[in-house]
Amino acid sequence: MSTSELAPEFSVISGAQVHEVLQGQEERITGLVEDTYRIHGRGDTVNPSSYFLRFPDRPDARIIALPASVGGGVGVDGIKWVSSVPANVSAGLPRASAALLLNDQATGYPFACLEASIINAVRTAASAALAADWLSRDRGRPVRVGFIGTGLIARYVHTYLVRTGWNFEQVGVHDLKPEYAEGFRGYVEESGGGGTVTVHESAEDLIRSADLIVFATVAAAPHVTQPEWFDHAPIVLHVSLRDLSPEVILASNNLVDDVEHCLKANTSVHLTEQLTGGREFLAGTLYDFMTGAIELDPGRPVVFSPFGLGVLDLAVGKHVYDEVRRSGRLARVDGFFHELSRYGKR
């Protein structure tokens, strides 16, 4: 067999194709994310530290590289390259954009590049919905939800909650920009899921009124500092990672998706580690909770801080690739691999 026959083909999968595969598949993708967390928890993954590319002339912007490898039934290596440019929002563009490269585990050759901003949003939302489900099993499902931050991630989290069986009596919304809060209110009212939608002028009002709180902001440092706002022991999906002060973290049950990943880059839990000099404030990981390895104090709030693992992007991306390939609509790039002979063609 020739080297050209051994080398994988290379394909490009557009955002439109990604959206088509993932649309309406919330329960399936949440199950896939749960399976991947279990694979990761059993140690059948490689998920090294993310690399942050920062720019002296653009200090609020960054690009993050998330290399990873997933075993189990997924069987793929790869890397996500995701950028965050907050200035995009004022220009009418989403803050984040991303691409995902998948590599064949047998040959190492990359075989697909996927538009990954949707994959990033979907795996984040599925992770949040999964955590909300597990963390509410002993407490009862909250019927009052609040969103602090009203961008694309908040929209996806709301969608995943509603389409995995959540119904709300009240939906609270808070954003530093009133026009964004109003836009999100309109989205919630049109998308369904029940509940009276209220725009709150302050984070405190929203937090005190909700039993399930979603932080999906672009905050670079803690801005919620009062533990007493959480005295009613809500479930907190701390998706944006840097909203809560160490005082709030120390007054809570704290779960992460991966300890080493979350305790870096000045996340709230990382700041808490720096303040206390230890990690005793962490109860463990979501996998620990799902497997019954830990128990939580029902009288304290539960804060889930997911750094976002590259293995989740790979699992969702490989699912998209498999579905597009099954449909016969892969856009292959002919001649992408050119130098396939060790000594050249003769």
pLDDT confidence of 7, banded at 50, 70, 90? low
Give the pLDDT band of residue 113 (cuts 50, 70, 90).
very high
The CATH number for 256's domain is 3.40.50.720
Q: Domain for residue 338, yes or no?
A: no
pLDDT of residue 327: 96
Say if residue 142 is in the same domain as residue 11: no
Mean pLDDT across the chain:
94
Shared domain for 127 and 25, answered yes or no, is: no
- What are the CB-based long-range contacts (under 8 Å, 24+) for 52-59? 52/265, 58/85
Q: What is the CA radius of gyration of the chain?
A: 21
Range of the domain at 50: 3-119+310-332
Residue 217: pLDDT over 60: yes
Looking at the fold, whether 73 and 156 belong to one and the same domain comes out as no
Look at residue 295 and tell me if it is in a domain.
yes
What backbone torsions phi and psi does residue 224 show, to the nearest 5 degrees?
-110, 110
Q: Flag whether pLDDT at 338 surpasses 90.
A: no
Residues 132, 285: Cα–Cα separation, whole Å: 14
8 Å CB contact between 324 and 15: no
Residues in the chain: 346
Residue 58 domain-assigned (yes or no):
yes
Q: Is residue 341 part of a domain?
A: no
pTM: 0.93
Provide the β-strand partners of residue 52: 64
Distance CA 187, CA 181 (A): 10
Overall average pLDDT of the 22-48 stretch: 97
222 shares a domain with 78: no
Question: Structurally, how many domains does the chain consist of?
Answer: 2
Tell me, what's the pLDDT at 1?
41
Q: Does residue 344 fall inside a structural domain?
A: no
Residue 268 DSSP code = H
Q: Residue 16 is part of a domain; what is its CATH number?
A: 3.30.1780.10
pLDDT in tens, 63-77: 999 999 999 999 999
Is 346 a member of any domain? no
Q: What pLDDT score was predicted for residue 193?
A: 72
User: Does the structure show a pLDDT above 60 at 336?
Assistant: yes
Q: Is 325 in the same domain as 225? A: no
pLDDT at 234 over 90: yes
| pLDDT tens string 167-208 | 999 999 999 999 999 999 999 999 877 789 999 999 999 999
Q: Dihedral through CA 321, CA 327, CA 333, CA 334, nearest 10?
A: 130
Say whether both 47 and 135 belong to one domain: no
The verdict on 127 and 80 lying in the same domain is no
Classified as helix, coil or strand, 33 is: helix
Tell me the average pLDDT across 104-112.
94
Residue 337 lies in a domain: no
137 in the same domain as 278 = yes
- What is the SS3 string spanning 124-147? HHHHHHHHHHHHCCCCCCCCEEEE
Q: Write out the two tokens for 298.
A: 């029902």
pLDDT of 127 above 50: yes
pLDDT band at 342 (very low <50, low <70, confident <90, very high): confident
Q: What's the rounded mean pLDDT across residues 100-126?
A: 96
Residue 112 sits in the same domain as residue 219: no
**CA proximity to 135, closest of 237, 251, 14, 264:** 237
Same-domain status, 276 and 156: yes
- What is the token pair recorded at 12? 């490009």
With 0-12 CB in 10 A as exposed, 13-18 as middle and 19+ as buried, what is 165?
A: exposed
Same-domain check for residues 43 and 131: no
Same domain, 61 and 183: no
